[in-house]
Structure 1
């Protein structure tokens, strides 16, 4: 799997205002900004992302995914 493919999978199941994906083909990092995260605890946000990936999370396609998840307001409050 490529970073573009993983980015597309996440974006197809989650409306993202900002999405960065990087990795080596099995181990990934992602920064995901979505209004859908509003009111959710961090573990719930991660579960929401995992749901978009489905069975791929249990195969070698996505061996590990480290995420930073933000609402648009949280993202705007960060220094960029």
Structure 2
């Protein structure tokens, strides 16, 4: 069984993140928000692939599911501004 904090550690080790939050209580299904400048100019699918690549063979095995919401730093700043 995996902890959300371990997934965060693995993602940060392989991807520069300005903000990262992973949640999940059952040890196999997780959701998260990832903000990275490495997402600039990339379609959402490619952004998710970059995150999944940091987890390697754990995806689909120990980590059954990881639902992602990804943002570039500019998109994240705009969202935070809208939310006040």
TM-score of the alignment, normalized to the shorter chain, above 0.5: yes
Structure 1 ranges of 4+ moved more than 2 A: none
* Cα deviation digits, residues 35-69 of structure 1 (max 9, x gap): 0000000000011111111000031x210000000
For residue 41 of structure 2, give the secondary structure of its aligned residue in structure 1: coil
Match of 2:16 in 1: 15
For residue 59 of structure 2, give the secondary structure of its aligned residue in structure 1: helix
For residue 31 of structure 1, give the secondary structure of its aligned residue in structure 2: strand
For residue 42 of structure 2, give the secondary structure of its aligned residue in structure 1: coil
Gaps spanning 5+ residues in structure 1: where? none
Gaps spanning 5+ residues in structure 2: where? none
Tell me the TM-score normalized by structure 2.
Answer: 0.90
Tell me the matched-pair count. 79
For residue 17 of structure 2, give the secondary structure of its aligned residue in structure 1: coil
Match of 1:26 in 2: 28
Name the larger-Rg structure.
2
Tell me the TM-score normalized by structure 1.
Answer: 0.94
Superposition pairs for residues 1-80 of structure 1, below 5 Å? 1-24=2-25, 25-59=27-61, 61-78=62-79, 79=83
